[in-house]
Structure 1
Amino acid sequence: MLDSSGGIFAAHDYRHFAGITGGSLAPDTPPSKEQIQQARIHNHLTPLTAESITEIFLAYPRIYLVTDKLNDFDAIASQLPFTDRILIEVFSLKGYYQAKRLGLLPMLSTSDIALAKSLKIPMVATHTSTLQDPDKARLAQSYLAQGGCIMAFSSNEKSFIESHLEVSASMIYTDYFDINTKQCKLEEAMCKTY
């Protein structure tokens, strides 16, 4: 998201950010950078600004940032100096080509794998329900075999992940990934590693 002066900070949306930081921020307007820096998520976690995001990503050159919440591609390109490791989910062909022109790595969000294949779009984000359709799953397999990349969102079901990962999806978003053990945590527990 963008703060009131146009600076990037990590948040799902303004309302959610206001809620997880105690509710004192306005839920429908961008907070200031100062408000973000003073806020605490769940009373103890520090929100991330563009500077702290950059610090983390420069310290760990093998990690990628995946985002679907910020479609101000100019802000991403100018504020985050590791654009070769930012995957942006875009929701239109116009957005796809705009991000690409700025040197960013867009993923077209679509269930139309055939369209992505015909336009030679190398990365797609799709809902896991797309892969539950046998015809679309076969098309996804063909797309992957030709070098495409599919990021499927979201599944916490071990059987789904095992049957589709590296078959009809390159990567699968899950809510329970513990980066210390590099294993999916399928229990109902909040990830403690961030």
Structure 2
Amino acid sequence: MEIGAGGELFGKQGGDFLRQELKGKGSVWAFRGVAGVDEETLRYNGFRKSLEGSNIKITQEVFGDWGYAKGKQLCENLVLSGNAVDGIWFSGAEMTRACLDVFKESGKALVPMTGEGNNGFLRAWKATGVKSIAPQFTPGLGAAVVRASVALLEGKPMYRSYFSSPPAIALTDLDKFLRPDLNDAYWLPSTLPEATLKETFKR
């Protein structure tokens, strides 16, 4: 049995957005996750495929380990280097938030940046007005794997594969998905009951 998260689609959704925003040409930076992790590779491959046939070039590529601190350091280095950039693809939203802060602190004009279905990012998106899109990684997959494993051990019939690929959040849906009452650690889409969300992610 296989349970998949649609990593390649995640990367492609962000890449398609940049391709459209940049009208098929320009220079982009790629902020990848943790080197060697399957999900990271799938996201990056999806991003690369979305650029095929365009005149968009990846001029800088770094591994930010999906973290804010490392992402910020890397973004600061790239901004200070003076490298031209028309858009930025991110494998995870913590790195996007970091780069948004770097651009703000340095006084650099924002460029289109991809994000992710995370409440902290959605809040930053709304506050900064950056052109963006937020692919989603289903946080409930871990629990789904456990439930599926138990079901298999109990001899219950199962499908051969399960696949989660929710649509990306566009600007038109931002207010629908942003939860001002919850903190930045809330990830979408969630299968948790509303009462649990409010208790666990109370701002």
State TM-score, norm by structure 1.
Answer: 0.34
State TM-score, norm by structure 2.
Answer: 0.33
